[in-house]
Amino acid sequence: MRKYILITVPKLNSSGGVSSFWCSLLPVLKKYEDLDIETLEIGGNNNILGPFVDQWNFYKKTYTHIDLAILNPSLGLKSFFRDALFARRLAKKKIPFLVFFHGWNLGFEKKVDEKYRNFFLNTFGQAKKIFVLSENFKNKILEWGYEGKVVIETTNVDSSLLQDFSIEEKVNQIKNSEKIRILFLARLLREKGLFETLEAFNSLLETYTNIELIIAGDGKDREELESKVSDNANIIVTGYVEGQDKIDLFRTSHIYCLPSYSEGLPISILEAMAFGLPVVTTPVGGLKGFFKDGKMGYFVHPKETKQLSEKLELLLSDLDLVAEIGKYNYEYAHKKLLNSVQAERMHQYMMQSI
């Protein structure tokens, strides 16, 4: 007998990590013959009545038969209270539910510590399971008194991006390329380590003439970036990329660099790994517990330009090492990070919770 699953999601045609996560996962989950999945889009109502509309739409859904609901909040002011009311409604109706915290605001975490522990336990704390992206987040939820199972999950990589991709060809490309390409793909914000990447690359140019930095994305610091690189032929700013253009960048690049000041678990890092790229990044957010320093690439401290340059040079000076780490990342991603693999895990979690 098919189980009816209700999943709250943001606008699925919007940009953002949660919408990308579910846009990748839903087509695979909907192929399971024992699941009947419906999504309820919430948020995105840019008027004063929006929160009330969300609550009313959710309230109406709870009068239909639901075998399991999945809530997708972030730990932040707006989402926390909105989705907590959803959780309270589900608990009142005795509808089992799961909670997947995607974003996590450390400032708001302190508010929960100080004021909202009991509120958390009486709402989200009624969930069968809670999913987070970091060991630190798991520990905090257990500290608040949650007695259920907290599962550390990841974001995922859409396997359709990797059609016709060959890791053997990538390894050969790395070892035989005349020019080594370092890729930075993210919002063009200072907090992403954008200018540290730029400074580190410029210092490496003094030793390595066969390197190129590709900066892909858009954001409020793009104008400042372009003013700094306008006369540097070794740096290419592409602007925002998606679809085949993004695939081509991953295919033709050799090292991925994202030294952010803070993060959750960036999908771009998982995508880079799936395309066989070693990664240089920072031990922040979900990366701290997920990323294997020395095996998947290297950690550097945020804002440490000299250290970033040194770690990039370790890779540039040893292309066999680039290929070795790239192959490890590719195999790891295909075992654990593809949407098809994660869908199987989520399917099991759902069936266990009904």
Quick check: 303 and 261 in contact, CB under 8 A?
A: yes
> Which pLDDT does position 277 carry in this prediction?
97
pLDDT digits (tens, 9 = 90+) for 300-327: 999 999 999 999 999 999 999 999 999 9
What's the rounded mean pLDDT across residues 89-112? 95
The CATH code of domain 3-156+338-353 reads 3.40.50.11930
pLDDT digits (tens, 9 = 90+) for 326-348: 999 999 999 999 999 999 999 99
Tell me the CB-side half-sphere exposure of residue 297, using CA atoms within 13 A.
Answer: 33
Residue 322: helix, strand or coil by DSSP?
helix
What's the rounded mean pLDDT across residues 74-79? 92
Higher pLDDT, 192 or 155: 192
Chain position carrying tokens 């002011």 = 77
DSSP symbols for 250-308:
HHH--EEEE--SS-S--HHHHHHHHTT--EEE-S-TTHHHH--BTTTEEE--TT-HHHH
Query: pTM of the entire structure?
Result: 0.86
CATH fold of the domain at 159-336: Rossmann fold (3.40.50)
Is pLDDT of 16 > 90? no
Counting beta carbons within 10 angstroms of the beta carbon of residue 95, is it exposed (0 to 12), middle (13 to 18) or buried (19 or more)?
Answer: middle
The H or E element spanning position 185 is strand 180-185
pLDDT digits (tens, 9 = 90+) for 219-260: 999 999 999 998 899 999 999 998 899 999 999 999 999 999
Name 216's bridge partners.
185, 239
Domain pair 3-156+338-353 / 159-336, same fold: yes
> Which pLDDT does position 286 carry in this prediction?
84
Where do the domains of the chain lie? 3-156+338-353, 159-336
> Which pLDDT does position 289 carry in this prediction?
85
Is pLDDT of 291 > 80? yes
